[in-house]
Amino acid sequence: MKIKKVLVSQPKPASEKSPYYDIAEKYGVKIDFRPFIKVESLSAKEFRQQKVSILDHTAVIFTSRHAIDHFFNLCTELRVAIPETMKYFCVTEAVALYIQKYVQYRKRKIFFGATGKIEDLVPSIVKHKTEKYLVPMSDVHNDDVKNLLDKNHIQHTEAVMYRTVSNDFTSDEEFDYDMLVFFSPAGVTSLKKNFPDFDQKEIRIGTFGSTTAQAVRDAGLRLDLEAPTVQAPSMTAALDMFIKENNK
Residue 192's pLDDT is: 94
Residue 107 above 80 pLDDT? Answer: no
Contacts of 56 (CB under 8 A, 6+ apart): 132, 157
The rounded distance, in Å, linking the Cα atoms of 39 and 23 is 28
User: Full-prediction pTM beyond 0.85?
Assistant: no
CATH (residue range 3-35+168-245): 3.40.50.10090
Give the dihedral sign, CA 175/179/183/188.
Answer: positive
Provide the residue ranges of all domains of the chain, joining segments of one domain with +. Answer: 3-35+168-245, 38-162
The rounded distance, in Å, linking the Cα atoms of 188 and 216 is 6
Q: Which CATH architecture has domain 38-162?
A: 3-Layer(aba) Sandwich (3.40)
Mean pLDDT of 98-102: 94
Residue 106 above 90 pLDDT? Answer: no
Residue 39 above 80 pLDDT? Answer: yes
* Peptide bond before residue 228 is cis, with ω within 30 degrees of 0: yes
The rounded distance, in Å, linking the Cα atoms of 95 and 117 is 12
Domains 3-35+168-245 and 38-162 share a fold: yes
Residue 117's pLDDT is: 84
pLDDT tens across 177-224, in order? Answer: 999 999 999 999 999 999 999 999 999 999 999 999 999 999 999 999
